[in-house]
Amino acid sequence: MPGTCRVNEKGRLEIGGVEAGELARRFGTPLYVFDEEAFDQRVREFQAALARSWRDYQLLYAGKAFLTTGFAALVAQYGLGLDVVSGGEIYTALQGGFPPARMVFHGNNKTVEELDFALRVGVGRVVVDSADELHRLQQVAAARGQVTPIWLRVTPGIEAHTHHYIQTGQLDSKFGVPLAGGQALAVLQEALQLPNVRLMGVHAHIGSQILDPTPFQLVAPLLVQLLAQLREQAGVTLRELDLGGGFAARYTKEVIPPVAQVVGALASALATACDQQQVPAPKLFLEPGRALVAEAGITLYRVGTCKTIPGVRTYVSVDGGMADNPRVALYQATYRACLPDRLQEPATETVTVAGRFCESGDVLVRDALLPPVHSGDLLAVFTTGAYHYSMASNYNRVPRPAVVTVRAGQAEVLVERETYADLVRLDRIPSAWRRPADVAGSAEPVAVSAHGQAEASAAGR
Ligand code: LLP
């Protein structure tokens, strides 16, 4: 079981020392549960691996995986940097008290407003993604009378997805400036000429859920070669190198190499390349998202309708689905599930755990082996900490679940459950579309319960 999940003496699932059933009763379902200690362990593993393999380094957390104000506050406490990709992520982190100097601002199409905001608050590094953006940033910085530290994101011609990687001459990607044909080198040289940007380093991110260290070992020498070329042609030695994120997490049966092994392999490839090219060892940055938070997340659902189609399959429908976990529909992701309150019962039935949203593709686990499932059972899905809450939607106008964090027997809310009122908060009815009675302000209001759920009014609507 991931993180601090364990089966307690009553045969029930406990997360961070709190029974899953108790969390569901206290906070309702669906519920995202964040296991703080699991995150702590993963951060320590990365920090220890980096400390063992490289002298000067900084671990960043990729906020796109999961970010709230509270979580930004926790990440700040660990002394990590933060990879942010939008004005909204910068704002969220600032609201959580995260120091802007430790933020690194990524994105292939940052708007002028976002760049201006980033410079105004003092984001640590802007990662320039294209020649076009370099010019835009120069203008924004000049208009502010600032000189802003930057990295250049390069596309190294190596792409890694799960256990595959491919090397291509010209990488077809919307991200970064290709190394191929000297394009990245040319943009670096141009950056050196611009008065309002200060070129500090280069960055590459080659994919996500990478199960094999090889692509990391291939990319490091390519970036070192770029640094060597720049030194040769412009006499400038850059001191910062970010090799991105992409480290894998365990969803089902994947074999994940230990962090120490992947980071060690990457660092030794980097060291060898630095030696060979006689480039001084740069400060190394890594920016994992998924590897730090995926396994710290568990989603709790309540089972509703169960339906067996004889000879075909049994559908077990839960009170969440693709709006809180879009990864199955988007990436054919696979997950493990269990019945937290019935862990001692033998798993004898293969069922399809389906969501409650209006799409046939709304499935959470295609073939889950569980004890016989009944309406009212609690169901847990593991490894839901990365790209779940951050990608959640209000499809079908279903309020997004709450997020709670658990540690040492204590649970606290990170994000409140949305209410019906939240769903319509930004909606407006153009005056011509209103019923005359509404315009006159005499429409019968819909009562809203303490939970924010609309109740039929006395008129019995
Ligand atoms: N750095 C950069 C520049 C990135 O683009 C990403 C992820 C990361 C770091 C963090 O990658 P990680 O360590 O989490 O793999 N929504 C997809 C994942 C998209 C990842 C995008 N970039 C999913 O749910 O699998």
Residue ranges of alpha helices (H) inside 173-213 are 183-193
Which residue in this structure is represented by tokens 């010209």? Answer: 170
Arithmetic mean of pLDDT over the chain: 94
208 lines ligand 1 (CB under 6 A): yes
Per-residue model confidence as pLDDT tens digits over 146-198: 999 999 999 998 878 766 777 665 567 889 999 999 999 999 999 999 999 99
Whether residue 452 is predicted with pLDDT greater than 90 in this model: the reply is: no
Asked whether 17 and 409 are in contact (CB, 8 A), the reply is yes
How many Å lie between the centroid of ligand 1 and the Cα of residue 303? 31
How many Å lie between the centroid of ligand 1 and the Cα of residue 243? 12
The whole-model pTM stands at: 0.94
3-state SS assignment for residue 61: strand
Spatial strand order of the sheet with 13-15 comes to 6-7, 13-15, 18-19
Residue 42 pLDDT class (50, 70, 90 cuts): very high
60 lines ligand 1 (CB under 6 A): no
Which residues neighbour 80 within 8 Å (Cβ) at sequence distance 6 or greater?
Answer: 43, 59, 60, 61, 102
Q: Please tell me the residue having the least CA distance from ligand 1 atom 8.
A: 245
Strand-strand pairing, 297-309 and 313-318 = antiparallel
Q: Domains plus CATH for the chain? A: 6-33+295-415 (2.40.37.10), 36-294 (3.20.20.10)
Residue ranges of alpha helices (H) inside 10-86 are 20-27, 36-53, 69-77
388 lines ligand 1 (CB under 6 A): no
Residue ranges of alpha helices (H) inside 122-182 are 131-144
288 lines ligand 1 (CB under 6 A): yes
Q: Ligand 1 test: best mutation among 290, 293, 328, 393, most atoms within 8 Å of CB?
A: 290
Asked whether 15 and 3 are in contact (CB, 8 A), the reply is yes
Whether residue 330 is predicted with pLDDT greater than 70 in this model: the reply is: yes
Strand-strand pairing, 81-84 and 103-105 = parallel
How would you label 128-158 residue by residue, b for 16+ Cβ within 10 Å and e otherwise? bbbbebbebbbebbeeeeeebbbbbbbbbbb
Mean pLDDT value of segment 35-41: 98
* DSSP count for the chain of H helices, then E strands: 13, 24
How many Å lie between the centroid of ligand 1 and the Cα of residue 289? 6
How many Å lie between the centroid of ligand 1 and the Cα of residue 62? 7
65 lines ligand 1 (CB under 6 A): yes
What is the amino acid identity at position 301?
Answer: Y
More reliable by pLDDT, 451 or 352? 352
Whether residue 243 is predicted with pLDDT greater than 50 in this model: the reply is: yes
Q: How many beta carbons lie within 10 A of that of residue 247, not counting itself?
A: 27
Residues with a catalytic annotation lie at: 358
383 lines ligand 1 (CB under 6 A): no
